[in-house]
């Protein structure tokens, strides 16, 4: 299904060229809501059938046409949602009140509906998430957020990671727009936190890497908007980084997203990151030796070294106790793959951070270079 969707992103336009031609004649198109519903699938620049240039042209053209016609933006958004989006979501998300957008507090277990038929929004309205993103970009979402929530949650809680990724993107837009008071009062934090947590369990599937990164970044954005306790950050780190490592082995596709989000988690936890030193340092050392740097392994190893430099900085008071373990990993990686220029420069940078944080490591390193003089190149100040 996902492959078909990528090829056929709109029932009317065959590709970006046709979209641009439509935009050129947009003034002659009287129904603004219909025009938005047709251009919307091409608004999401993350999709292969769109791009940043097309995204900006659609946004500018829709803003211009609304202003020229002196239309009330909220009215336009309502017409698009009720006439061109809501019909494809006949079975609204059961934990969300479709009229108010508020989380329903009573037990909904008996209202679960099983169906072997794909939801209409998957089969009849390709790229509908792009239309929702376009609508969020042209209006004050705080006035109509409840209209966006049901379709967003339907995608976010869909069993296919491809669609969950799109749901995460829409939820992130809502998080960035709404204020903390509304998020808490409407029960949105609990709703989103639960859905993001579920999304993290799909890390090993197709689109799992993109989903894990998006879900972690959205969760951190949600915490920044509301409040966060250390235990919540611990759980997020365990679910998104530590647990996937148990499964990963040498699977680069699983390791890459975990190291991509790890620096953000470490920054959020700050000194409390010391709780994970025992787990993180050995995994980084192992990852540096998985394979010689190539087009597949280098991005993962670079992300691991970025995480290491962040770890050293935020855990400064404890790093002197772990300095030899960290030095061992850097030295082994340098001996094995120090001939690779980009990889070598990253190793040298991390050693510099380590030396600055734990000056005692200079003595450790000097002892090594007395035995193996070639190691001196790891220290650019040597």
State the pLDDT at residue 108.
42
Which of residues 150, 179, 208 is at a domain's end?
179
State the pLDDT at residue 381.
75
In a domain, 221, yes or no: no
Residue 114 near residue 28, CB atoms below 8 Å: no
Enumerate the β-bridge partners of residue 17.
Answer: none
Helices (H) and strands (E) in the chain, counts: 20, 0
What residue has token string 């709703």?
191
Query: For residue 206, is it left (φ>0), alpha (ψ between -120 and 50) or beta?
Result: beta
In a domain, 135, yes or no: yes
Cβ-Cβ contacts under 8 Å for 7 (sequence gap 6 or more):
none
Same domain, 5 and 136: yes
Nearest-angstrom CA–CA distance, 156 and 154:
6
Cβ-Cβ contacts under 8 Å for 72 (sequence gap 6 or more):
none
Radius of gyration (C-alpha) of the chain in whole angstroms:
25
Same domain, 163 and 253: no
Q: How many domains does the chain have?
A: 2
Same domain, 277 and 129: no
In a domain, 3, yes or no: yes
Same domain, 14 and 160: yes
Same domain, 249 and 175: no
- Domain span at residue 30 reads 1-104+117-179
Residue 26 near residue 65, CB atoms below 8 Å: yes
State the pLDDT at residue 96.
58
Same domain, 170 and 261: no
Same domain, 250 and 175: no
Per-residue pLDDT of the chain (382 residues; tens, 9 = 90+): 443 333 333 446 777 888 899 999 998 889 999 999 999 999 999 888 889 999 999 999 999 999 999 999 999 999 999 999 998 887 655 555 555 555 554 444 344 444 556 777 886 545 889 999 999 999 999 999 999 999 999 999 999 999 999 999 999 999 999 999 999 999 999 999 999 999 999 999 999 999 999 999 999 999 999 988 999 999 999 999 999 999 988 899 999 999 999 999 999 999 999 999 999 999 999 999 999 999 999 999 999 999 999 999 999 999 999 999 999 999 999 999 989 999 999 999 999 999 999 999 999 999 999 988 989 999 987 5
State the pLDDT at residue 103.
57
Same domain, 264 and 378: yes
In a domain, 336, yes or no: yes
State the pLDDT at residue 29.
87
Which of residues 140, 156, 179 is at a domain's end?
179
Q: Read off the tokens for 359.
A: 């000056």
Same domain, 149 and 295: no
In a domain, 214, yes or no: no
In a domain, 199, yes or no: no
In a domain, 311, yes or no: yes
User: Is 142 buried (19+), middle (13-18) or exposed (0-12) by CB count in 10 A?
Assistant: exposed
Same domain, 152 and 285: no
Nearest-angstrom CA–CA distance, 235 and 246:
15
State the pLDDT at residue 91.
62
Nearest-angstrom CA–CA distance, 317 and 53:
47
Which of residues 129, 145, 179 is at a domain's end?
179
Same domain, 170 and 267: no
Same domain, 149 and 257: no
In a domain, 310, yes or no: yes
């Amino acid at each position: 299904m996902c492959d078909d969707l990528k090829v056929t992103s709109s029932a009317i336009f065959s590709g970006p060229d046709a979209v641009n031609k439509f935009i050129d004649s947009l003034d002659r198109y009287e129904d603004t809501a219909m025009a938005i519903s047709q251009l919307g699938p091409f608004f999401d620049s993350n999709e292969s059938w769109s791009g940043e240039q097309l995204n900006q042209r659609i946004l500018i053209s829709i803003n211009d046409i609304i202003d020229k016609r002196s239309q009330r933006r909220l009215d336009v958004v309502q017409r698009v949602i009720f006439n061109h989006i809501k019909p494809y979501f006949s079975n609204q998300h059961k934990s969300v009140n479709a009229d108010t957008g508020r989380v329903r507090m009573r037990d909904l277990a008996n209202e679960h509906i099983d169906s072997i038929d794909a939801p209409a929004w998957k089969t009849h309205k390709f790229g509908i998430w792009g239309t929702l993103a376009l609508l969020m970009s042209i209006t004050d979402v705080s006035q109509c957020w409840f209209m966006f929530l049901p379709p967003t949650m339907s995608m976010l809680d869909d069993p296919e990671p491809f669609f969950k990724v799109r749901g995460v993107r829409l939820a992130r837009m809502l998080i960035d727009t709404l204020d903390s008071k509304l998020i808490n009062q409407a029960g949105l934090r609990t709703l989103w936190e639960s859905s993001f947590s579920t999304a993290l369990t799909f890390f090993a599937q197709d689109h799992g890497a993109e989903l894990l990164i998006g879900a972690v970044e959205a969760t951190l954005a949600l915490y920044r908007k509301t409040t966060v306790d250390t235990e919540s950050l611990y759980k997020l780190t365990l679910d998104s980084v530590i647990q996937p490592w148990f499964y990963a082995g040498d699977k680069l596709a699983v390791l890459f997203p975990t190291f991509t989000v790890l620096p953000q988690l470490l920054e959020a936890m700050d000194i409390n990151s010391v709780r994970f030193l025992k787990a993180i340092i050995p995994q980084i050392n192992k990852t540096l030796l998985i394979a010689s740097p190539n087009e597949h392994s280098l991005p993962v190893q670079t992300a691991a070294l970025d995480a290491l430099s962040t770890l050293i900085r935020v855990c400064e008071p404890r790093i002197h106790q772990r300095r030899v373990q960290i030095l061992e990993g850097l030295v082994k990686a340098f001996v094995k793959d120090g001939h690779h220029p980009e990889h070598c420069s990253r190793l040298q940078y991390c050693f510099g951070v380590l030396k600055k944080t734990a000056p005692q490591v200079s003595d450790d390193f000097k002892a090594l270079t007395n035995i193996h003089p070639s190691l001196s190149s790891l220290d650019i100040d040597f």
